[in-house]
Amino acid sequence: MRKTYPLSSLHKLLAVLVLAAPLSACDSLFGKEVARLPINTISTPGQEVVKDATLQLQQGEELALWSDIDMAYDGEAPVRFQVQVFQNGAPYQQLELDPTEKNVTVGEVKTTVNGKTNWSFTGKNATLTAPKMGTYMFKARLVAAPNPTLVVKKAELVLKK
């Protein structure tokens, strides 16, 4: 018969650290989330849906813009995040991001059956480097080409350092 011993506090701490190590590695690989703009609705001329976040950035600090998307559609469904960046209250830069054009992808699932596509993913779309220290405001909205079958379950712009 095998004898079992209860884990000591030290063993418990080591177990937690070993299990947590992969999580901290994710931050170094993918960046640490500093803001999330849950847009989740397509803006139309009669209904603008704009979300914003404000961050303090240091000169030379790099910020990654990621999209977290879950959508369904028939045919094609070109969607875009339109992002206005303000530096210390003044317009600084405008970006238009196609969330499907990503250079890093996490958790992508895409199925197409009889022309009906279900697609969810998290992907890195762009980076922005702060030219100087200051307060940066990001205002974003989601736009799409007309497609009555498009259903946006989730469309979030994620900012990571």
1: in domain:
no
Q: What is the pLDDT of residue 9?
A: 45
Is 152 contained in some domain? yes
Q: Is residue 9 part of a domain?
A: no
On whether residue 13 sits in a domain, the answer given is no
Q: Is residue 5 part of a domain?
A: no
Q: pLDDT category, 3, cuts 50, 70, 90?
A: low
Q: Does residue 19 sit within a domain?
A: no
41 part of a folded domain: yes
Domain that holds residue 77: 32-160
Q: What is the mean pLDDT of the chain?
A: 87
Strand partners of residue 62: 129
End-to-end C-alpha distance for the chain, whole angstroms: 53
Residue 23 pLDDT exceeds 50:
no
Strand partners, 59: none
Q: What is the pTM of this model?
A: 0.81
Residue 2: what pLDDT?
53
Split into its structural domains, the chain has a count of: 1
* Mean pLDDT, residues 20-46: 78
What confidence tens digit (pLDDT) does each residue in 49-63 have? 999 999 999 999 999
CB-CB neighbours of 119 under 10 Å: 17
C-beta of residue 39 within 8 angstroms of C-beta of residue 51: yes
Query: What CATH number does residue 70 fall under?
Result: 2.60.120
Give the Å distances, CA to CA, from 100 to 14, 81, 91. 40, 11, 26
